[in-house]
Amino acid sequence: MMDMTMQMMEMHVAESSMPGMDMKLMAECIEACSACEQACTMCASCMMGEGTAMHMEMCMNTADMCNTMMRMMLRPSGMMMDSMMRMLDATMVQCRLCADECMKHADMHEDCRVCAEACRQAAMACEKMMDSMQMMMADS
């Protein structure tokens, strides 16, 4: 999947409204957000039951945020630095909160452990993307 995403990003790099963007990092962030969205959706599904509403809703919100972040990155001509930075930050925060919540249940549910790891990976990918964008701004 990563190769396909990278190929698509490279085809559209010229259309980007943010020249100099690290498309390899962006492709990695897209993949991490996609994996997180899937893990959170499955984790929310397995947590349906009494006393798990907050956890389930946290996972659903994280899945939605990751989907939105991923879709923003897939639209190179519509990228605006300020909104991308804010969305990356919000996604990173949401992923970290969800990972913390899922770890509370990881000893009872394997889905929660997997979800927590996917959330951590997505948060790290968003952080790397933000760092790259900040360096890009500093160089310009």
pTM: 0.87
Our CA dihedral for 4, 66, 132, 114, rounded to 10 degrees, sits at -80
Output the pLDDT for position 54.
84
**Distance between CA atoms of residues 114 and 70, nearest Å:** 20
pLDDT per residue as tens digits for the range 41-78: 999 988 776 667 888 999 999 999 999 999 998 887 77
> Alpha carbon of 126 to those of 13, 14, 35, 105: distances in Å?
19, 22, 13, 24
**Distance between CA atoms of residues 140 and 122, nearest Å:** 27
**Distance between CA atoms of residues 62 and 67, nearest Å:** 8
Cβ neighbours around 58 below 10 Å, total: 24
